[in-house]
Structure 1
Amino acid sequence: MANSKFEYVKRFEQPDQLLPNTWIVVRLDGRGFTKLCAKYGFEKPNDRRALELMNMAAKAVMTDLPDITIGYGVSDEYSFVFHKTCSLFERRASKLVATTVSTFTAYYIHFWPTCFPDVPLSSPLPSFDGRAVCYPSVQNLRDYMSWRQVDCHINNLYNTTFWTLIQLGGMDAKEAEKALAGTLSADKNEIMFSRFNINYNNEPEIFKKGSVVFRDYELVEPGSHIVAEEADDLAEPVQQSKTQQETDKKRRAKARVLVDHLDIIKNDFWDRRPWLLSNKPGKIPKQT
């Protein structure tokens, strides 16, 4: 309804468009998850069920939002990368964040009974918040992803050692915290191996590296593409026809969405998956 005397309130709305021709990362975090973990008795230092639940929700989000090219998750956080060509919601931060966070939250609650069949949810229900950040270059984007994976390693090594001292060493939280004060990575590895015969290298990859979500296409030989340079050299994204957009959308829909626990810091991961940066769907792997 137009021309109402109340329509003036629209003037209070402020533009919140994200920068054009940049990678958009929507990073979400669990709200009050320390209390939630205690409420539902999550295992320490890592609860495999909780991590699988996060991954199931992330896969569903990536399936629903084809503009997402890759996701990375650890603990109660997930980062979703929207390609530079993304025009979803006219690149408005509020809508992009709200849609990503609400979709993730809905699937998290939906899949809860699958991962926690004997632990029904009760109020207050799990929820997430989020923010959107623009990164202008491939290197900026990769440095962001590397930062999250390095952070995963640092936090998991500390938490694993901390809870080992409590669960197997008989310490309380204050004693374990004091024992680890000022220690380096090598020190923590030595504590676990010498005192408890635990080799941190044998810990599950999902704990050490976090989870990477992406569409499954045929891998290419490293060095056969120069996608990163091409993406950075474009002054503005190449405009596709509606026919090409629909074709690419269908090819993405056919691709299987995978969750894996890989090193995303080294070049090999990106070199063998050029579609992550080119926004051009790859070849669907042949069924075996």
Structure 2
Amino acid sequence: MANSKYEYVKREFEFHRHLPASNWIVVRIDGCHFHRFSELHAFEKPNDDRALRLMNACATSMLEKFPDIVIAYGVSDEYSFVFREKTEFYKRRESKNISLCVSYFTIVYGMKWKDFFPNNDLKEPPYFDGRVVCYPNINTIRDYLAWRQVDCHINNQYNTCFWALVKSGKTEKEAHQALKGTSSKDKNKLLLQQFQVNYNDEPAMFRKGSTVYRDKVKTDDCGNPIKRTREAITVSNFDLIGPEFWENHQYILGEG
């Protein structure tokens, strides 16, 4: 920028908050007014497989674009991106981390829309907001991801019951009232007894959300063994709360 008498406005009023070193950075992206957006585009209730796979495709593009993202977790219109502890992504500037992630994700969502909704034109532009949080160690990162997955289960189980009741003839108000104060066990019982639906048989993507990470691949595309392990970005629906996933993928967070 050329020096001028007006440059003081940058020097004296612009401030860049740098996120603390030796912390894991999580950028969480959420859809703005997606309740209206989903109705406008006739998303299936309680879950639209196309919309969820579109979100997963956007998350995959994020890992392709930004190598410092080691894992991402998404549910509904939300996605969390975990940057490695030692990242120097845009010098750890908070505003850059948020704005770049949100803008790139939003652009990809629009570009990939037709891949998943070929017969449904975008009627208004989708947009997302974002926040960034720092976590001090691996344990808190795992707890963060477990928290989001627990939230996924609670919300999806409720919504599965709610929309089953609505589709059976109840008003939305009546459905909310019927579910008021019910436990997880109560909801499972309701689905099984009234609708012959075993909640545990629902697709794992709906119940557990989606995890995107770089998997260690030891075979080529034809299934033949290869000498050198390569990485492939993978979308899965594993349980992140228990230890099994982390024991089998210690390299993701550098635990191995």
Aligned to 1:63: 64
**What residue identity is the alignment partner of 2:231?**
A
- Please say if residues 16 and 94 of structure 2, whose CA atoms lie closer than 8 Å, have aligned partners that are also in contact: no
Aligned to 1:148: 148
**What residue identity is the alignment partner of 1:272?**
N
Deviation at 1:175, TM superposition (A): 0.5
Aligned to 1:53: 54
**What residue identity is the alignment partner of 1:23?**
W
SS at match of 1:53: helix
In the superposition, the TM-score normalised over structure 1's length comes to 0.83
Aligned to 1:178: 177
Describe the shift of the 1:118–1:93 C-alpha distance in structure 2 as closer, same or farther (beyond 3 A). same
1:19-61 C-alpha deviation (Å, 9 max, x unpaired):
1100000000001101100100000000000000000000001
> Is 1:207 the equivalent of 2:202?
no
Distance (whole Å) between structure 1 residues aligned to residue 3 and residue 196 of structure 2? 75
- Runs of 4+ with >2 A deviation: none
Distance (whole Å) between structure 1 residues aligned to residue 19 and residue 105 of structure 2? 21
- Please say if residues 75 and 152 of structure 2, whose CA atoms lie closer than 8 Å, have aligned partners that are also in contact: yes
Q: How many residues align?
A: 246
**What residue identity is the alignment partner of 1:131?**
R
Alignment equivalent of 1:267, drawn from 240, 243, 252: 243
Distance (whole Å) between structure 1 residues aligned to residue 186 and residue 28 of structure 2? 32
- Please say if residues 24 and 132 of structure 1, whose CA atoms lie closer than 8 Å, have aligned partners that are also in contact: yes
1:114-141 C-alpha deviation (Å, 9 max, x unpaired):
1000111133x00111011000011111
Distance (whole Å) between structure 1 residues aligned to residue 28 and residue 54 of structure 2? 17
Distance (whole Å) between structure 2 residues aligned to residue 202 and residue 111 of structure 1? 29
> Is 1:190 the equivalent of 2:189?
yes
Aligned to 1:222: none
SS at match of 1:79: strand
SS at match of 2:252: helix
Aligned pairs (5 A) from 1:69-218: 69-123=70-124, 125-167=125-167, 169-218=168-217
SS at match of 1:275: coil
Distance (whole Å) between structure 2 residues aligned to residue 32 and residue 58 of structure 1? 20
**What residue identity is the alignment partner of 1:173?**
E
SS at match of 2:67: coil
Aligned to 1:227: none
- Please say if residues 83 and 279 of structure 1, whose CA atoms lie closer than 8 Å, have aligned partners that are also in contact: no
SS at match of 2:253: helix
- Please say if residues 50 and 115 of structure 1, whose CA atoms lie closer than 8 Å, have aligned partners that are also in contact: yes
Distance (whole Å) between structure 1 residues aligned to residue 241 and residue 195 of structure 2? 30
Gaps spanning 5+ residues in structure 2: where?
A: 219-227
Deviation at 1:15, TM superposition (A): 2.4
Deviation at 1:279, TM superposition (A): 8.8
SS at match of 1:217: strand
- Please say if residues 49 and 116 of structure 1, whose CA atoms lie closer than 8 Å, have aligned partners that are also in contact: yes
**What residue identity is the alignment partner of 1:274?**
Q
In the superposition, the TM-score normalised over structure 2's length comes to 0.93
Distance (whole Å) between structure 1 residues aligned to residue 3 and residue 106 of structure 2? 37
Over aligned residues, Cα RMSD in angstroms? 1.6
